[in-house]
Amino acid sequence: MKDDLLRFYTIEHVLLMVVAIALITVGYSKSKKSATDANKFGAVARFYLVGLILILGSIPWPFRDLGAGWF
């Protein structure tokens, strides 16, 4: 896929959002199964942070030159 805009919206955006949602779900499940509170909060923090980074990375920001502006 040579067209950056088409590749981003058809592959990268969708794939990263699905992976982020899956990681957040796994983190939530692991926190429910943990025995101590420290392990629960640690699992949630790690998985949610990675999910947040993936979500922020897959947003079509204006500085990425994907054809979209702020408005």
CB 31 within 8 A of CB 44: yes
Residue 70 lies in a domain: no
Q: 22 to each of 5, 34, 57, 58, 66, how far by Cα in Å?
A: 25, 18, 16, 15, 26
Residue 68 lies in a domain: no
The confidence score (pLDDT) of residue 22 equals 96
Residue 38 lies in a domain: yes
pTM: 0.81
CB 60 within 8 A of CB 13: yes
Residue 71 lies in a domain: no
Instruction: Determine the structural domain holding residue 15 and report its residue range.
Output: 4-59
Number of domains in the chain: 1
pLDDT digits (tens, 9 = 90+) for 15-40: 999 999 999 999 999 888 888 888 88
